[in-house]
Amino acid sequence: MDHPQIERTMLTGYPTKEHLDFEKEDHPIEDFSGTELQTGDRYFQIDDDIIYEENVEDYLIERLGARAYVAK
């Protein structure tokens, strides 16, 4: 028994750039805070909100009401 990905490759061929989700160029323009996303930027989606990777902490605090603490 082959690995499922090997079986899929044998049936459909090797994926091309168009088949890879992370290679898509159709990304959102801005995240929740207005930060412009560029091709290659990593972002998260929660419901309809887009959050740029570097703005996750701000999103947690501003939108979800999280509180940040420092361990002593």
Q: Classify residue 3 as exposed, middle or buried by CB count within 10 Å of its CB (0-12, 13-18, 19+).
A: exposed
Cβ(49)–Cβ(59) below 8 Å: yes
Model pTM score: 0.58
Residue 3 pLDDT grade (very low, low, confident, very high; cuts 50, 70, 90): confident
Model pLDDT, residue 70 = 96
Instruction: Identify the pLDDT of residue 66.
Output: 96
pLDDT digits (tens, 9 = 90+) for 5-52: 777 777 777 766 555 554 455 677 899 999 999 888 999 999 999 999
Please give the residue that has the higher pLDDT: either 54 or 2: 54
